[in-house]
Copies of this chain bind each other. A is one copy, B any other.
Amino acid sequence: MELSGIYQSIEDDLARVKEYLRSIIKVDFPWLSEQLDYVVGGGGKGIRPALTLLSGKFYQYNLQYLMPMSGSVELMHTATLIHDDAIDKSVSRRGRATIYKLWGEEPAILLGDYLFAKAGEFVADTHNPRVIKLFSQTLATISSGELNQFFSAYNLKQTREQYFKKISGKTASLFSLATASGAILSEAPEKSVKTLGDYGHHLGIAFQIVDDILDFIGTEEELGKPVGSDLTQGTLTLPAMLLLERYPEDNPVKRRFENRDDRDNIKQAIEMIRNSPIVDECYLVAAEYSARACRNLNELPENSSREALFELAKYVVARKK
């Protein structure tokens, strides 16, 4: 199913969240307004805000609080992407030039900070101490996850456990915030908060594994950025780890990490992974997490949102971009 189909039951409210996000453009400084306009007009799949709204549909659907929460989750995501792009010196994302490319590194740092602040203002509007605290804890988890990734760059000796810890920090934590906060703000019983939080966590892991696969098998057009970006930045992901396991001695990933300038090794690694069962193996792991995400969903009240969460778990593994 396409995302638009999955989002059907929350379509109008998701549009409202987008409007709500656009409200941040109105600021005193023209250049800031221009940058914000560019940032919130960037598209994106909107999975995180959708997760908050969908997770809020099982008990009291308090749109008054779910909307700022939803906006907050999306803004935090956007801010981390802007900082990531400045750190990785990435010039394109989602098929558009990055803030780093357009305005430079310094504005990218400050604009990211500004968006963290606006995300913080939004979450404050939920008036809910628990999600406010969760919000900051999640940001701490994400940034330490990113630091972890930075300090383990070009390190060939990474275990699978470390990989899952890394993607859990940098991706799954925000997915989990999105779903758990939706549940909390809809006054869900504690058991449902846990079910939805776990759903978000496992979905996030599956999502990131697929991201890491697509970085090898996608096209630049689909990805909106160059293929093989992870290897370019020295980030060891699941497909590359499996390739290392398969060919421990002579391996393009190993050569790439030991001789950082060699572009040919990236091309070769991409080719080898594409033409091997590694892709299927990785998809199996992603599918396992997607299934784990859905494990307890049936405990939730039956409604169109529950159906959407099941569909989203399928979509996350099947998506091509």
Residues of A within 8 A of B (CB): 27-29, 31-32, 80, 83, 86-87, 105-107, 109-114, 116-121, 123-125, 127, 129, 132-133, 135-140, 142-144, 146-148, 150-151
Contact = CB atoms under 8 A, between A and B. Distances in A.
Main SS of chain A's interface residues? helix
A144 B29 contact: yes
A197 B3 CA distance: 48
Nearest to A80: B113
B111 A147 contact: yes
A184 to B, nearest CB: 14
A133 B72 CA distance: 13
- Counting chain B CB atoms within 10 Å of each CB, the highest count among A27, A29, A142 belongs to A29
A136 B114 contact: no
Nearest to A129: B127
Number of copies: 2
A110 B29 contact: no
Contacts of A105: 87, 105
> What are the 3 tightest A-B residue pairs by CB atom distance, in nearest-first order?
A120-B136, A117-B139, A117-B140
B109 A87 contact: yes
Contact of A143 (B110, B129, B143, B148): B110
A230 to B, nearest CB: 16
A38 to B, nearest CB: 14
B114 A137 contact: no
A7 to B, nearest CB: 28
B121 A137 contact: yes
A32 B27 CA distance: 35
A202 B296 CA distance: 56
A125 B140 CA distance: 15
A80 B133 CA distance: 21
